[in-house]
Chains A and B, each alone.
Chain A
């Protein structure tokens, strides 16, 4: 079974600084997707960024980028120029590509606080 591990329950960053959130996963599949979702205080889950395992290039979305290390099964999220609105819970998630019942598996999440 696939598992997703986020070992840091909380992190804090100074506004305008950069922070990296860690995630590791375990799978025997070679093709899969990885995601970072954000859950602000409103509790609405928002997709931040997505990475396809077959792509060597790391995904970027404005201030958000990932460091995808397939051999190490590591998928970290870097937030640059942190803003107060980035304060939220962040979840790492995995989904395999093939298979009739492909489902999203989530880590336990990390709470990010942003200091003004």
Chain B
């Protein structure tokens, strides 16, 4: 079945460590996105990419980095510079032309202790 796979579902890290969240899609979508979800905040865009080897900052990119070496993959690294990394992270993808709805993965809950 086509879809978006995020792994792992739960992730625990010590403060000061970088951590990478995985996102893979087999929908042949060109565009991919990372959102952060906090209680009462809705979904806020971290980074997005519309083509391999290119990506743009979203609304809250500080402390995060991404890469897009393959069309299917868009990993997110939460660096030690992110002040409050504990959150629920959602990856999404969509077609480009037309660019309409996005499809989401199951999410990764990151807890930094």
Chain B residues closer than 8 Å to A45, beta-carbon distance: 90, 92, 104
Asked if A91 contacts B107 (CB within 8 A), the reply is: no
Whether A25 is near chain B, meaning CB under 8 Å from some CB there, is no
Whether B113 is near chain A, meaning CB under 8 Å from some CB there, is no
Stretch in B12-20, B21-29, B42-50, B66-74 with 4+ CB within 8 Å of A: B42-50
Residues of A58-92 whose CB lies within 8 A of B? 91
Checking B41, B58, B104, B107 against A103 with a beta-carbon cut-off of 8 angstroms, the contacting residue is B58
Interface string of B97-113 (1 = CB under 8 A from A): 01111111011000000
Residues of A26-81 whose CB lies within 8 A of B? 33, 35, 42-45, 47, 50
Asked if A91 contacts B42 (CB within 8 A), the reply is: yes
Checking A9, A95, A105, A107 against B100 with a beta-carbon cut-off of 8 angstroms, the contacting residue is A95
Asked if A43 contacts B106 (CB within 8 A), the reply is: yes
Which of A35, A42, A43, A105: most chain B CB closer than 10 A? A43
Chain A residues closer than 8 Å to B82, beta-carbon distance: none
Bound CA–CA A16/B83 (angstroms): 45
Instruction: Give the size of the chain B interface in residues (CB under 8 angstroms).
Output: 24
Tell me, rounded to whole Å, the shortest Cβ–Cβ distance linking B9 to chain A.
10
Tell me, rounded to whole Å, the shortest Cβ–Cβ distance linking B97 to chain A.
11
Chain B residues closer than 8 Å to A102, beta-carbon distance: 99
Residues of B34-60 whose CB lies within 8 A of A? 35, 40-45, 48, 50, 56, 58
Asked if A103 contacts B45 (CB within 8 A), the reply is: yes
Bound CA–CA A101/B91 (angstroms): 17
Asked if B40 contacts A9 (CB within 8 A), the reply is: yes
Given contacts A43-B88, A45-B90, A91-B43, whether A104 and B107 have CB atoms under 8 Å apart is no
What are 7 A-B residue pairs whose CB atoms fall within 8 Å in the complex? A50-B101, A91-B43, A95-B99, A95-B100, A100-B50, A103-B48, A104-B45
Which residues does B use to contact A, with CB under 8 Å? 33, 35, 40-45, 48, 50, 56, 58, 88, 90, 92, 98-104, 106-107
